[in-house]
Amino acid sequence: MPNMYNLFRENSKEGGDFIRGPDGSTIATYQDLEDGSARYANRLTGLGLTKGDRVMVQAEKSVESLFLYFACLRTGLIYLPLNTAYRLNELDYFVGNSSPKLIVCAPDNEQMFASICKGIAHSADIQTLDSNGKGSINKNLSNEPTTFNEQVCDDNDIAVILYTSGTTGQPKGAMISHGNLVSNAVALHKAWGWTRGDVMLHALPIFHIHGLFVATHLAVLNASPIIFLPQFDPEEIIGLLPVATVYMGVPTNYTRLLASPGLTSDACRNMRLFTSGSAPLLAQTFNEFKRRTGHAIVERYGMTETGMNTTNPVNGLRKPGTVGSPLPGVSCKIIDHEGIEVPINETGNLLVKGQNVFRGYWQSKTADEFTNDGYFKTGDLASRDDDGYISIVGRDKDMIITGGFNVYPREIENIIDNMPGIDESAVIGLPHGDFGEAVTAVVVKSAGSNIDEETIIQHLKNTLANFKVAKQVFFIGTLPRNTMGKVQKNVLREQFKQ
């Protein structure tokens, strides 16, 4: 397959509606996707962009932003989406690290990106795109041709760079290839039993793999209509379930749906598939959802670097607390610290291998992330039962997953430690009924300091994306350490758990 977009075109050319509004109106057809992405592709090449150039996008969810993404696939450009919550300090790092040729941002952020670009060696064109899909990037776009000859891309050509937290605390750009996208989309499409009658209810962001690769790719591969919502609202979701067949969410979404009395089996009468990912789904959430709706949520396991690795079956037993079995083409091993596979029902380090696994980190050493036989070290601790179902039981790294987003503590600790009146800090994740884990700071004050929780949280809000901000701050005399001087975060988690 020379280009990922060719697979989409081949499978969606007979499709009708591409994007629908919550009122059922047609916002865009699959022909509009073909024509619109071609216009953007011509616009991008007209701006002088060539294969391999990075296109950084920090824009609100819109149909036009999807057209722009598919245009990047068609032109062989590397699409680099960013969380819309990222602030100046974070954006400065991403721009400096990725050297984008083009930045597409919200109009209100145009000057901020201009100031960032003044401090870098290379030049970047800055265009705008707002939440209504209007901006300088598509000014007079109707003048562009509706045809475009796709750039030839092989399986190893990079399609997307997604930034994910790494062991150093600095985000790293995972390079996702055209081959990675094709293999994962085809495997998931088959595993989840997509049919032409499916309708996707889409309330996820489109700056990460769940909303863009899983929810959007599978719908387009199936030529299915997408009911496109700007954000998650439990009452709106429940109201739209009768006209959809597939919904994908994170555990936080499901706990909020369960809080509404409107979530009933009747509301779900037309639904075929509910999936959950991005964070562990509690067994009690799985069981309560099944009791209320008659549907067993399909939990799966994936990573930014790999796409989806495992899934519970659509036709078969879905076990709460597990992420199912490896997808076709994906191999999983669970090993101990000596590299030996652990027995059934014992915990070890999870490794994955397959065409879905990324090509490495952008401008970063990657060899240490893989074993000698080519398996990617996920950093997750897992076990496998007698039926081959895998359970994720913890993380070998200190990553916090809150509301489906990854947070690396070191980034937050660096900011807190630099505040006046603070000697040091440790950031941990504590169990939270809604978010899965709550970002929590444990702080040692300097002698005589009167700094308080409100001051620390406000400073984090002014510096970081909201999902990284500590929800609570505890003060302590000294941080517990082992004989090597390493902070014992397991001790802190036990001490401060509710």
Q: pLDDT tens digits, residue range 360-412?
A: 999 988 888 999 999 999 988 899 999 999 998 866 667 788 998 878 788 89
Residue type, 35: D
Structural tokens at position 246: 């597939």
| Nearest C-alpha neighbor of 191 from the set 297, 316, 68 | 316
Q: Does pLDDT of 168 surpass 60? A: no
Q: Which residue has the higher pLDDT, 170 or 57?
A: 57
- Residues across the chain: 498
Q: Provide the pLDDT for residue 131.
A: 95
User: What is the residue-averaged pLDDT of the chain?
Assistant: 93
Q: Provide the pLDDT for residue 487.
A: 83
Q: Give the gyration radius of the chain's Cα atoms.
A: 23
Read off the DSSP letter of residue 367: G
Q: Does pLDDT of 344 surpass 80? A: yes
Beta bridge partners of 405: 402
Per DSSP, the residues of 42-59 read HHHHHTT--TT-EEEEE-
Strand 348-354 to 376-384 pairing: antiparallel
Convert the pLDDT of each residue in 440-467 to its tens digit: 999 999 999 999 999 999 999 999 999 9
Q: Provide the pLDDT for residue 235.
A: 98
CATH class for domain 400-496? alpha beta
Q: Provide the pLDDT for residue 278.
A: 82
| Nearest C-alpha neighbor of 45 from the set 16, 74, 12 | 74
Q: Provide the pLDDT for residue 13.
A: 87
CB 108 within 8 A of CB 114: no
d(CA 127, CA 57): 10
Q: Provide the pLDDT for residue 166.
A: 45
SS3 77: coil
d(CA 66, CA 376): 30
Residue type, 255: T
Q: Provide the pLDDT for residue 490.
A: 84
SS3 14: coil
Mention every residue, 6+ apart, whose C-beta is less than 8 A from residue 235. 260, 262
Q: Provide the pLDDT for residue 223.
A: 97
72 band by pLDDT with thresholds 50, 70 and 90: very high
Phi/psi class of residue 168: alpha, beta or left (left: φ > 0; alpha: ψ in -120 to 50)? alpha
| Nearest C-alpha neighbor of 104 from the set 49, 157, 34 | 49
CB 427 within 8 A of CB 399: no
Q: Does pLDDT of 485 surpass 70? A: no
2 band by pLDDT with thresholds 50, 70 and 90: low
pTM over 0.85: yes
SS3 494: helix
165 band by pLDDT with thresholds 50, 70 and 90: low
Domains of the chain, by residue range, sit at 400-496
Convert the pLDDT of each residue in 297-326 to its tens digit: 999 999 999 999 999 999 999 999 899 999
Q: Provide the pLDDT for residue 481.
A: 82
